[in-house]
Amino acid sequence: MIEIRDVPESDAGRMVDFAGLVFHVRADDNELDSWKPRRAERLGAYDGGTLAGQLAALPMRLAVPGAFLDCSAVTFVGVLPTHRRQGVLTSLMARMHADAIAADRPVAALWASQGAIYGRYGFGLATRAIGLEVDTSRPLDLRTTPDDRPLRLIDIASAPGILDPIHRRGLAARPGGLVRDPEWWTRGILRSVDVEAPGFTEPRVVAHPAGYAVYRANGQQTIRVVELVAETPQVEAALWRYLASIDLTTRVHAPTRPVDDLLPHMAADPDQVAVKENYGALWLRLIDVPAALRARSWAAEDAFVLEIEDARIPSNSGRWRLTTGPSPACDRTTDAPDLTLTAADLAATYLGGTTPAALTRIGAMTEHAPGSAARLTAALSVPLAPYINDDF
């Protein structure tokens, strides 16, 4: 008999060992993330005294178009190999949903180990990311004039205080990321060791008044970009020019960039910049559909009747009249629907990264009123593609 209970503080370390077991990682590597369960809401699935499954939900703030929303950032999910496929994850998810509702958090989010798992729980893939590789064995000519205000290298200890205001302005301009606190900075983006980048140095930080880059280097003449944030294309050009011209290097690899990154357009020779990766990033769950729809900003004034299917959080199910524009509204209605869609597909479109038009074309959404998917696509659209660089 499985029972879902809070994991006490004294057992937070057990969750780290448990994650090492189910993710097949060495204890040393796992140690890097050991701080997360301590600051999370910890759920355990207990089989008697045995921890058979677990889930951690970090209370965070997520940038959505025009707003920041309280969010359960779900991580450390696992079930013992001996207890798989018996509904343990399903029970943990039900409790996570109930906790998020009780805490008045309109959204939850996660990074999935496998894309096949979370759609059934109402999560939709809301952001993608790309990886870029730049050949810097020759000068990188740019079509954008770099902002010539001086760059300066700063030490790691002072980095959170200097970078955070720039990062926050970036979140307001581009949805999808998380608000960070100093611990999130130092244990995340600025951590000295990255197990995914063996052989690379500790991070270097170069700052501009309106942007920054965090990067590592290795003995194989490669610069690895950890994060690059710029408030204008000219500042972006200045940072890429800097990264591309560091002595004793011939390659810049930026494994995590927004899908609408400007560098492929900026490079005078497009062959110098290759898109090497394209992958799913943040999975989003609208815990409270009407609250989430009222909270974001909209790109067009319009009105829709949405028929939403949500088997896991029934209070979201049914017909909603959504009014988009400067004073958004979302209320129950009995009117005929313009569109029928699942909560997971609504979540996938919420940040503006996936379009109702595409989901209708593939047959995932049903359009009853001709043209309504295109109109909803226009209302949801955002100037900059959603993006997250916090892999939690």
Ligand X SMILES: CC(=O)SCCNC(=O)CCNC(=O)[C@H](O)C(C)(C)COP(=O)(O)OP(=O)(O)OC[C@H]1O[C@@H](n2cnc3c(N)ncnc32)[C@H](O)[C@@H]1OP(=O)(O)O
Distance CA 166, CA 208 (A): 10
Among 20, 37, 78, 177, binds ligand X (CB under 6 A): 78
Question: Residue 78, annotated ligand binder?
Answer: yes
Among 12, 51, 69, 77, binds ligand X (CB under 6 A): 77
Count of C-beta atoms within a 10 Å radius of residue 135: 16
Distance CA 131, CA 35 (A): 28
For 326-360, the DSSP string reads: SS-EEEE--SPPSEEEEHHHHHHHHTSSS-HHHHH
Question: Residue 180, annotated ligand binder?
Answer: no
For 90-128, the DSSP string reads: HHHHHHHHHHHHHTT--EEEEE-SSTTSSGGGTEEE--E
76 is catalytic: no
Among 72, 75, 324, 372, binds ligand X (CB under 6 A): 75
Nearer to ligand X, 11 or 302 (CB): 11
Nearer to ligand X, 229 or 344 (CB): 344
Binders of ligand X among residues 80 to 139 (CB under 6 A) are 84-90, 110-114, 116-117, 120
For 292, the 3-state DSSP assignment is helix
Distance CA 245, CA 241 (A): 6
Query: Counting contacts by CB under 6 A, is residue 374 touching ligand X?
Result: no
Identify the helix (H) or strand (E) that includes residue 295. Answer: helix 289-295
Query: Counting contacts by CB under 6 A, is residue 332 touching ligand X?
Result: no
Nearer to ligand X, 134 or 347 (CB): 347
Nearer to ligand X, 224 or 285 (CB): 285
Choosing from 68, 215, 350, 392, the catalytic residue is: 392
Question: Residue 7, annotated ligand binder?
Answer: no
Distance CA 72, CA 390 (A): 14
46 is catalytic: no
- Scanning the structure block, which residue is given the tokens 């995590």? 256
Question: Residue 199, annotated ligand binder?
Answer: no
Site string for ligand X, 24-63 (x = CB under 6 A): -----------------------------x----------
Residues lying near ligand X in the complex (CB under 6 A): 22-23, 53, 74-79, 84-90, 110-114, 116-117, 120
Residue positions annotated with a catalytic role: 118, 392
